[in-house]
Amino acid sequence: MSSPASRRTRVAILISGRGSNMMSLIEAAAHPDYPAEIVTVISNRPEAHGLARAQAANIPARAIDHKAYADRASFDAALDAALGAEKVDIVCLAGFMRLLTPEFTQKWFGRMINIHPALLPSFKGLHTHERALEAGVKIHGCTVHFVTPEMDVGPIIMQAAVPVADDDTPDSLGARVLAQEHVIYPAALRLVCEGRARIEGGRVAIDEFGLVNRALVAPHA
């Protein structure tokens, strides 16, 4: 990864849908002091709304339709070729709702990160807000982590926690979490690009960790 003084880190964003996290990364990277530039956006779904949003922000964006490929391996090979052609350093999954093969995730290990709408290792997988409400947790949140072959398991880079209200619905809770996703994804990508998020023994050590010694208590007494 390059320092801001040299070439900016070349980032690809993979999406499948509306692309709000993608936009938070694009907006962060629009600042000249941000250490990454978004060189391409790729969706596995041609109809993804995020493609038009990226193009409107002058970011090259295109679909690689997974349905056009016979199997996961050939789709992942096409994806890998596209990333290679753009000399991509780091891949950000932003609502990319397709499993990647172990070969692909291993090749990109340490260079591919994901945002998940829950405080991992709780609530891996789908429908995280519904499941958090069913479980009755009082604190929920989101996680940015390095991607490994096993879904939603890789080394955690950054998390944000939000309180859960008694009258929350999946939508209201999801909106509270999403607002924090948009904060931590650009912040976590910055740490990775600056080489400050190092994988050590399956965990991430952060150089110059900024510890805020203040708890989020929910319900607030």
Min CB(20)–ligand GAR separation in Å = 3
Q: Do you find a cis peptide bond into 186, omega within 30 degrees of 0? A: no
Q: x/- binding map, residues 23-62, to ligand GAR, per CB under 6 A?
A: ---------------------------x------------
> Which CB sits closer to ligand GAR, 4 or 130?
130
Q: Which of 9, 20, 101, 148 binds ligand GAR (CB under 6 A)?
A: 20
> Which CB sits closer to ligand GAR, 178 or 206?
178
Q: x/- binding map, residues 152-191, to ligand GAR, per CB under 6 A?
A: --------------------------x--x----------
- Our separate counts of H helices and E strands in the chain read 6, 9
Burial of 206 (0-12, 13-18, 19+ CB in 10 A): middle
Local structure of 137: helix, strand or coil: coil
Helical segments of the chain, H only = 20-29, 49-56, 72-85, 102-107, 128-135, 170-193
Question: Which residues, in sequence order, are CB contacts of 71 under 8 Å at separation 6+?
Answer: none
Beta bridge partners of 9: 36
> Which CB sits closer to ligand GAR, 62 or 198?
62
Interface with ligand GAR includes 141 (CB under 6 A)? no
By annotation, the residues acting in catalysis are 116
> Which CB sits closer to ligand GAR, 9 or 24?
24
Min CB(174)–ligand GAR separation in Å = 7
Query: Could you give the CA distance from residue 17 to residue 143 in angstroms, rounded to a whole number?
Result: 19
Instruction: Write the DSSP assignment of 181-201 as a string of letters.
Output: HHHHHHHHHHHHHTT-EEEET
Choices 10-18, 29-37, 74-82, 162-170; region in contact with ligand GAR by CB under 6 A: 10-18
User: Which positions from 65 through 94 interact with ligand GAR, judged by CB under 6 A?
Assistant: 94
Applying CB under 6 A, which residues contact ligand GAR? Answer: 15, 17-21, 50, 94-95, 115-117, 178, 181
